[in-house]
Every structure is written in C-alpha cells, then in structure tokens.
Amino acid sequence: MNPFEQFKGSNSHIQPKEHTASPQATDGWKKMGCEEKKAAVHEEMKRMNKLPANSTYATHRLRVLNKILQLLSIQSGA
C-alpha cells in the first residue's frame, strides 16, 4: 500500500487553489525594467524579514527571492 493512500479522501472537501497569475500581473512584470524588478523583489524581501525568523514560509520565500535576484543579475549581464 502506498503510504499516502491512507490519507486519500480524508481532506477531500479541501480544494487547492491554482497559483496562476492574472494576465494583468504578468503583463505588468514584463513591462517593468530590470531595476524596477529588482526594487520590487527587495521590497518583498523587506516584507518577509518582518515575519518571525523561524517561519518556514518566510525562509522559503526569501530563498526564492534571492534566486530571482540571482537570475535577474544574470539576465541583465547578458
């Protein structure tokens, strides 16, 4: 038996939300310049740093934001 089979259906009433960005949000990101994107990421990092230090959500989000900054710096250098 699959170890996850025992939980199958236990939370069948809970439906996960799709994490798709609205077309307006993606269009706005595409229209932003590199510096504007970096500023937006830094603002989000400031917001995450206000959360508790032991927050796994904040820790993960900061890791993702750092990766975004890394990719933006590679993109701007190319």
Model pTM?
Answer: 0.63
Q: Classify residue 45 by burial, with Cβ atoms within 10 Å: 0-12, 13-18, 19+.
A: middle
Contact by Cβ (8 Å): 64, 57: no
Q: What is the pLDDT of residues 36-70, one digit of tens each?
A: 999 999 999 999 999 998 999 999 999 999 999 99
Domain ranges of the chain: 32-78
Lookup: tokens for 4: 């996850």
Residue 48 CA from chain centroid, whole number: 11
Amino acid occupying residue 18:
E
Q: What is the pLDDT of residues 7-25, one digit of tens each?
A: 555 554 555 555 556 666 6
DSSP state of 1: -
